[in-house]
Structure 1
Amino acid sequence: MTLPEVILSALILGISSQVSLDGWASTTARAARSEQRQQHLQQLDQQVLAAERLLARSSVDPDHCRFFGNVGSELQERLPATASFEQQFEPTFNEQGLWLVLQLIDETSVLKRRVLFTPAGLGLCKQTKA
């Protein structure tokens, strides 16, 4: 093998190794981001379930099938707040329910969950017999 052939083969080997390492690095970074996103989604789901459990124990006006009092502020106090995401409770326009809005903002994306809770949806309203 001549010297130019050796230099060319070494150059090809170096370039292919670099491309391979770059591919592995980007794949690893994507897998780590995907895992972190899954963890964030799981945290949001856990917060939704915790809010649902607390609201299922709330008192309801039996005549109008509405939550009593300011349920949003009560939930804000009782639900464990985490530093990783923002949570807000917004009453519906007719005050028949409560919107839970969870938002997580990190370096690469924004995750947002918005869930409507109503006394009827939680099974807290009594059916009237006609």
Structure 2
Amino acid sequence: MENSKPKTVDEFIQISPTESQKLMLQLKKLIEATVPDAIGGISWNVPIYKFHGILVGFSLAKRHVSVGIDTLLENVRKSLEEKGYKTGKKTIQIKFDQKIPTREIKQLIIEQAKLNQKQQQND
């Protein structure tokens, strides 16, 4: 990635290596379609979407895109790992040659949006 700091999600994608751009663009569209009121921006030098708090973000690694979300449910983690995705405590790694696990990521985003709304109501 170039040394310039992106100010928008689109800029982040545009200055990223070509082999990663399609995957990140698909993630961007998935996030925006799942929670249309989510606001995308750059925080910690990576794309982050906010909806009543941090919703979901993604970052670029050498050979994959990492999706970060607080609500990585155990049943979803197992499903993703069975399909060949590497997961961390709050992350899902999608290699450039893998398809986005749309159903699972959408489920996690919806769950996180509900939790964020509930948390905000309780504050």
Higher relative contact order, chain-length normalized (CA < 8 Å, sep 6+) = 2
Q: Which has the higher helix share?
A: 1
State the TM bucket, normalised to the shorter chain: under 0.3
TM-score normalised over the length of structure 2:
0.27
What TM-score do the two structures reach when normalised by structure 1? 0.26
